[in-house]
Structure 1
Amino acid sequence: MRLATTALATASALALTGGALARPLPEGARYVALGSSYAAGPGVGEPVPGEPARCGRGSLSYARVLAARLRLKLVDASCSGATTAHLLGPWNELAPQIDAITPDTRLVTITVGGNDVRFVSNLFASVCAARADAPPRCPPHAAPTPAEWTALARAMQRIGHEARRRAPRAVVVFVDYPVVVPPQGTCAALGIAEPQAEAGRAAAARLARVTAEAARRSGARLLAASALTRGHDACAPQPWSEGASLRPGGIAMHPMIAAHAAIAERLEQMLETNR
C-alpha cells in the first residue's frame, strides 16, 4: 500500500521534499531523461517554463519528481510525440535526445516506443469510432506491421547500447508504459469498444515485452511501470491514467500525477539497491 499512498499524496510535496532522504547518487549528479510524452508528462503539474512548448514537459513528471527528491541535475530531453528516431536523430529544431548524455552522466531513464507503433493514436482513433456522434471521417486505426515491431525492437536496443556507451558510469533504466486499458473489458471512461480495447491490450503487452528485451540485451535495467500501475488503468476505481473522459488539466490516454509519483518512488528504490 506504500506506493499507492505515496502516489495519491500531494504531488507538490513529493516534488519539494528530499532533505532527509537517502541519496543513492551524489547530490548534483547529472540525470538525463529521454522519451516521449509518457516521460515528458504533459498535463502533469504545470508546464515547465523555458522549455519547448510542443514537448509538453510537466513540472511533476517522474523525472522531475525524482530529481527534486535526490537533488540531481536534471537534463530533460523528453518530448511529446517523440519516436525512437527522435532519440537517435534530430527532430526539426530539436537535437537528438541522446546527445544530452555526456560521459559524466550518472543516471539515464528512457520511456519511448509507443509512437513508433501508434499506440496512443490508435486509442484516439478507437474513441472516435466508438462515439455515437462519430464524425464522418475518424482517424484510421492502423495496426503496426511485423516490420514496424522489428524496427522498434532494434531501435530500442540501439538506444540502450548507445546510452551505456556514452555514459559508462551511468545507471540506465528503461521505464515502460503505465497501464491505460484494463486487463479485460472496457468502460465509459475509456471510451472505446471491446474489440479496440483488446487491440490496445495486445499492443501494450507487446510494447512491454520489446522494452524488457531492449533492457536485457543492452545491459540496462528495467522499471516495469506496466506492472507497477496494474489495477490503476483508466477504468479502475482509482485510475492513474486518463481515458477519453478527462479530469481538469488531464491528457487523454496518458498517465496522471499519481502514476508519475509511483514511478519516481520505484526508481528511487531501484537506485538505492544499486549503490
Structure 2
Amino acid sequence: MSVRRFWASASTLILAATAALGLAQPASATSAAAGGYVALGDSYSSGVGAGSYLSDSGDCRRSTNAYPYLWAAANSPSSFTFVACSGATTSSVASTQLSALSASTALVSVTAGGNDVGFADVMQDCVLSGESACLAAVDTAVGKMNSSLPSGLSSLYSSIHSKAPQAHVVVLGYPRFYKISGSCIAGLSEAERSAINNASDVMNGVIAKQAADAGFTFSSVVDEFTGHELCSGDPWLHSVSIPVYNSYHPKAEGQSGGYLPAFRSVA
C-alpha cells in the first residue's frame, strides 16, 4: 500500500502484560506450529515500511521484518504461507489470497479494512489540502467504516472460515498515528491529528465487532504503539517519507515491538 493506496488504525487490551514481559507463549502456539500458519492481509501485515523485502514479493513488499515472518521464524510452523500484500482490500484478500488456506490450516492472521475506506486519500488530503479538507475526508472515511466496511469484513471472515474451518484466526487492528500534544512543531494541526486518531478508534471498533461475530480473535495494537506514535519522540511509524509507500506504515520496530507482541499474545 502506498500513499495512493494505503490503509493507511475501541481497542482491546489482550494479555499485554504477558507480551510486554516476554513470558511463555500460549500453548496454542505449539498446535499452530504443528498445523501450519497462513498470513493474509494488507501492507500492515506484509510489512511495508519495515524494509528487507522478499525478492519474489514484488509490489506486495513482504518483509522479513514483518510480524508474520518473525512469528514463523520463532515458532517453526509445519508450513508458513505469507500472502499478505500491499494495497489489499477485504475483497482482494478474499479473491486473491484465500487459496493459501486449507482444511489443515491451524493459524491465520489478517489485517484488512483501511484500503476499503480510502485512508490513503484521507492522508493525502490531510497533508496537502488543509484542515477543512482533511476533516471532511476523515468524516467521509468514518462514514464508510460505519456503512460499507462491516459487510466487507463479514464476507471476508466468512470466506476465511469456509476455507479453513479448523483454524484459529487472529484479526489485528491498526495503531493510532499521533501522540496528541506531542513533540511535533509543524505539519498537521492538533484537530487533524485528533480526528485521524478517532477514525482509527472507529475502524478498530468495527473490525473488533465483526471479528467477534465471526468467532475470531481480535488483537489491538494500540497499547503496544502507545508512546511510539508520530510526535512521540520515538515513533515506530513513518511520517511522510521517501519512498512514498513507506508513509504512515510501521517501521521494523513497529512490527517487532508492536504487531508481533499483539499477535504472539493470542496466537
**TM bin (shorter chain):** 0.7 to 0.9
CA deviation vs aligned residue, 1:2-31 (integer Å, no higher than 9, x gap): 86698xxxxxxxxxxxxxx99523546321
Residue 66 (1) aligns with residue 66 (2):
no
Answer whether contact 2:19 2:264 (CA < 8 A) is retained: no
Report the CA distance shift for 1:169/1:250 in structure 2 as closer, same or farther (over 3 A).
same
Report the CA distance shift for 1:269/1:5 in structure 2 as closer, same or farther (over 3 A).
closer
Match of 2:10 in 1: none
Partner of residue 260 from structure 1, selected from 246, 255, 259: 255
Q: Percent identity?
A: 25
Match of 1:251 in 2: 246
1:201 and 1:146 map into 2 onto residues whose CA distance is: 15
Report the CA distance shift for 1:113/1:27 in structure 2 as closer, same or farther (over 3 A).
closer
Q: How far is the alpha carbon of 1:240 from its aligned partner? A: 1.4
CA deviation vs aligned residue, 1:39-61 (integer Å, no higher than 9, x gap): 1112313110112x111111110
Q: How far is the alpha carbon of 1:181 from its aligned partner? A: 2.1
Match of 1:92 in 2: none
Residue 55 (1) aligns with residue 60 (2):
yes
Unmatched 5+ stretches in structure 1 = 7-20, 90-95, 132-137
**RMSD value over aligned CA atoms?**
3.0
SS in 2 for 1:102: coil
Match of 2:171 in 1: 174
Answer whether contact 1:102 1:166 (CA < 8 A) is retained: yes
Residue 34 (1) aligns with residue 36 (2):
no
Q: Look up the equivalent residue of 1:56 and give its one-letter code.
A: R
Q: How far is the alpha carbon of 1:249 from its aligned partner? A: 10
1:219 and 1:22 map into 2 onto residues whose CA distance is: 16
Answer whether contact 1:32 1:109 (CA < 8 A) is retained: yes
2:197 and 2:228 map into 1 onto residues whose CA distance is: 14
Match of 1:129 in 2: 129
1:153 and 1:29 map into 2 onto residues whose CA distance is: 30
Aligned runs of 1:9-158 on 2, under 5 Å? 23-25=29-31, 27=33, 29-51=35-57, 53-72=58-77, 73-89=79-95, 96-129=96-129, 141=137, 143-144=140-141, 146=143, 149-158=146-155
TM-score (norm 2): 0.79
Q: How far is the alpha carbon of 1:215 from its aligned partner? A: 1.1
2:62 and 2:100 map into 1 onto residues whose CA distance is: 16
* Stretches of 4+ aligned residues off by more than 6 angstroms: none
TM-score (norm 1): 0.77
Unmatched 5+ stretches in structure 2 = 1-16
1:65 and 1:189 map into 2 onto residues whose CA distance is: 35
Answer whether contact 2:145 2:206 (CA < 8 A) is retained: no
Q: How far is the alpha carbon of 1:121 from its aligned partner? A: 3.0
1:147 and 1:119 map into 2 onto residues whose CA distance is: 11
Report the CA distance shift for 1:38/1:26 in structure 2 as closer, same or farther (over 3 A).
closer
Answer whether contact 1:179 1:241 (CA < 8 A) is retained: no
1:148 and 1:2 map into 2 onto residues whose CA distance is: 31
Report the CA distance shift for 1:148/1:179 in structure 2 as closer, same or farther (over 3 A).
closer
Q: How far is the alpha carbon of 1:153 from its aligned partner? A: 0.9
Q: Look up the equivalent residue of 1:103 and give its one-letter code.
A: A
Q: How many residues align?
A: 241
CA deviation vs aligned residue, 1:84-114 (integer Å, no higher than 9, x gap): 111122xxxxxx2122211111111110101
Answer whether contact 1:41 1:60 (CA < 8 A) is retained: yes
Q: How far is the alpha carbon of 1:222 from its aligned partner? A: 0.9
Residue 237 (1) aligns with residue 233 (2):
yes
1:112 and 1:191 map into 2 onto residues whose CA distance is: 27
